[in-house]
């Protein structure tokens, strides 16, 4: 059996063999952002602003944006999630990028990437997730997962297949 990957915007997970959500997972590669080291996920220092690690409501929650709690641990608990603030002072087309650790090539089977996302507020823009093989320019890729605008005050599950790769790769949130 090939490698399976598990990652966590509150939760990110790679499942095997594909997006059959009852598939196997690899908990050693899971991340729920409870650890301050973000499980090896890193910010792109060359973009306009950063993703932030948060517990409880976002700072702009009082004006009707963002989640009030982490999906993984649920309401009333102190779980953490990663978010970007798209309200002022952000400008249209500002970007923030979050990079996964580099994952090794998995050449014996396909995998599935699963995440929980929350897009709530009048100025909500795009969420794009890319699978970036080593040595490939991100600008040449199309998103593996893309959502735009407000989707209500709720956590939603997203997932996409990751085709067989022969080179190491990263998952990039934009």
User: What is the total count of domains within the chain?
Assistant: 1
**The pLDDT value given to residue 13:** 57
User: What tokens were used for 64?
Assistant: 């009707």
**The pLDDT value given to residue 164:** 82
Is residue 114 included in any domain, yes or no?
yes
Strands 145-148 and 126-133: antiparallel
**The pLDDT value given to residue 57:** 80
Task: Residue 121: give the domain boundaries.
Answer: 12-173
Is residue 65 included in any domain, yes or no?
yes
Q: Is the pTM of this model over 0.85?
A: no
**152: domain CATH number?**
2.60.120.200
Is residue 155 included in any domain, yes or no?
yes
| Half-sphere exposure in the Cβ direction for 64 (13 Å, CA) | 6
Is residue 2 included in any domain, yes or no?
no
**The pLDDT value given to residue 133:** 93
Dump pLDDT digits (tens) for 79-123.
888 888 877 777 778 888 999 888 887 643 677 788 888 888 887
**The pLDDT value given to residue 106:** 65
Is residue 97 included in any domain, yes or no?
yes
Is residue 159 included in any domain, yes or no?
yes
For 40, list phi and psi in degrees, rounded to 5. Answer: 90, -5
Is residue 148 included in any domain, yes or no?
yes
For 76, list phi and psi in degrees, rounded to 5. Answer: 85, -5
**The pLDDT value given to residue 21:** 55
Is residue 4 included in any domain, yes or no?
no
- For each successive 10 residues of the chain (174 residues), what is the average pLDDT? 38 57 56 87 89 84 75 78 79 85 70 84 86 92 92 88 85 86
Helix and strand numbers (H, E) in the chain are 0, 11
């Amino acid at each position: 059996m090939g490698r399976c990957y598990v990652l966590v915007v509150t939760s990110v997970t790679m499942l095997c063999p594909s997006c059959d959500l009852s598939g196997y997972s690899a908990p050693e590669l899971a991340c729920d952002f409870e650890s301050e080291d973000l499980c090896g996920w890193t910010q792109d220092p060359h973009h306009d602003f950063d993703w932030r690690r948060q517990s409880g409501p976002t700072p702009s929650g009082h004006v009707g944006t963002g989640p009030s709690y982490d999906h993984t641990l649920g309401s009333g608990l102190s779980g953490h999630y990663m978010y970007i603030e798209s309200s002022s002072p952000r400008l249209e087309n500002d970007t923030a990028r979050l990079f996964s650790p580099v994952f090794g090539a998995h050449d014996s089977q396909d995998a599935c990437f699963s995440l929980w996302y929350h897009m709530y507020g009048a100025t909500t823009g795009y969420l794009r997730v890319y699978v970036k093989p080593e040595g490939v320019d991100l600008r040449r890729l199309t998103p593996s997962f893309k959502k735009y605008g407000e989707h209500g005050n709720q956590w939603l599950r997203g997932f996409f297949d990751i085709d067989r790769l022969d080179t190491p790769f990263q998952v990039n949130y934009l």
